[in-house]
Amino acid sequence: MKSQISSRMAHHFHLIRQATLRLVDPLQTEDFTIQASENVSPTKWHLAHTTWFFETFVLTKYLSYYRVFKSNYDYLFNSYYESVGPFHSRENRGLLTRPTVEEIYSYRSYVDHHMMILLGSNHEEIKDIEALVEIGLNHEQQHQELILTDIKFNFYQNPLLPVYKETIDRTPHAPATDEMIPFRGGLVEIGTSDSTRFSFDNERPRHKVWLEPFKLAAHPVTNKEYIAFIEDGGYENPSYWLSDGWATVKRESWRAPLYWREQWGKWMIYTLSGEQPLKLEEPVCHVSFYEADAFARWKGKRLPTEAEWEHAAEPVKVEGNFADHGYAHPRCHSSENEQLKKIYGDVWEWTQTPYTPYPRSKPLDGALGEYNAKFMCNQMVLRGGSCATPLSHIRPTYRNFFQPETRWQFSGLRLAEDAE
């Protein structure tokens, strides 16, 4: 039985690790090191850090004869685990021209080889090992999304506006509507206590929440709707903005979402396929929480709470435009099978909920307790996944979180309002 379980895990491990390598395959060597902001990381660092995770938390603990690939990698590729030891500063990751890309590939191969040996063994602690590997693979999927978002931001700094990968979306456009879907509310449950399926500690436990009756928009907000906000002076009117948001607008001179550019009266948008004319029916993307909140106020509505979002989305099948489809950009198409269109995939949807622990929530023991819990301050919750998220990584209870000024993620919004 132990061999069967570890064999399935070994296969899963191989698939996830190979998916990361396919993501970086279009890059040239020069692309791997650039870091255009302290908020993003070089692609080379992502490849090394996800490998360091398995070496540090699995191999050095459970494979008795294992020897680390390079002793100084523990300092270079630790991200923020204070309990593990000191680490290289985040803002200086782009200064690491060495180790080379070739050396990082060798590092991944070395760790993968030993991981497959471990997962193929009849280790007496195989259950503990598999639990750690499952966390590591979900961690790697998070970094797969970050690889795409960071490549996009890094490439955008280049006046040539490089193409990461040519993709063409030929599906017909599906116009959005203003329909608002009613929900009765009441005493509902969110989160998960299901021990048979993976979840992060911040999704647990399942607990009761009271919801007043509410409505949720059938579609995420589109580019067409957002242009109307811009043309109505949305970025010039402080009455729509939270105080910190308005200060950010003035400080950063925001006039449109990130990657937008107006040229001869037409809006253009930079994508991973290069700069393209803006499609009006696509979900608006790369807006901060501040922008999402201001737009909602301009429309006379609001953002949903994360409990409202999860209660509404839980019955909906998890499918949509995810990273697996290869577009890495929101699409105009829409499924006709559900009332809530595009609730999963395309864009992460901002909620009005601050990122805090659930009642009776407990972080993981040891160093992995730093994974989520220590970020529960000054961040807002997003839900639903995006066009850069692996499909198998998302679920109704998944909680993403970022600072309210963050725009480089594939983040958009869906409107909500109180039911009359």
pLDDT tens readout for residues 348-400: 999 999 999 999 998 888 778 777 888 889 999 999 999 999 999 999 999 99
Please indicate, yes or no, whether residues 215 and 327 belong to a single structural domain of this protein. Answer: yes
Same domain, 258 and 112: no
The pLDDT value given to residue 274: 97
* Residue ranges in the chain whose pLDDT is less than 50: none
The answer to whether residue 162 sits within a structural domain is no
Residues 191, 324, single domain; the answer is yes
Least Cα distance to 396 among 132, 199, 227 occurs for 199
Residue 182's DSSP bridge partners are 215
Q: Are residues 133 and 217 in the same domain?
A: no
State yes or no: cis peptide before 257, omega within 30 of 0: no
3-state DSSP call for residue 270?
strand
Judge whether 170 lies within some domain. no
Residue-level pLDDT at 381: 98
Residue 76 is assigned to a structural domain of this protein: yes
For the chain, the residue count is 420
Assess whether 145 and 229 both reside in one domain: no
pLDDT for res 43: 98
From 156, 189, 216, the end of a domain falls on 156
Is residue 338 domain-resident? yes
Same domain, residue pair 113 and 240:
no
Domain assignment present for residue 70? The answer is: yes
The C-alpha atoms of residue 136 and residue 134 are separated, in whole angstroms, by: 5
CATH number of the domain within which 188 lies: 3.90.1580.10
Q: Is residue 172 part of a domain?
A: no
The answer to the question of residue 345 being in a domain is yes
Regarding whether 260 and 391 lie in a shared domain, the answer is yes
**pLDDT of the residue at 4:** 58
**Domain interval for residue 277:** 180-418
pLDDT digits (tens, 9 = 90+) for 46-61: 999 999 999 999 999 9
Residue 340 and residue 272 share a domain: yes
Q: Are residues 326 and 414 in the same domain?
A: yes
Global pTM?
A: 0.96
The CATH number assigned to the domain holding 141 equals 1.20.120
- 180-183 β-sheet, strand order: 180-183, 214-217, 416-418
Residues 189 and 74 in one domain: no
Candidates 12, 67, 21; CA nearest to 48 is 21
Residue 388 covered by a domain:
yes
Question: Which helix (H) or strand (E) is 2 found in, with range?
Answer: helix 2-24
Domain count, the chain: 2
Displacement of CA 171 from its chain's centroid (Å) = 25
Tell me, yes or no, whether 142 and 269 share the same domain: no
Among the candidates 156, 172, 197, a domain finishes at 156
Among the candidates 118, 140, 156, a domain finishes at: 156
Domain identity same for 74 and 122: yes
Nearest to 288 by CA among 320, 341, 262, 252: 252
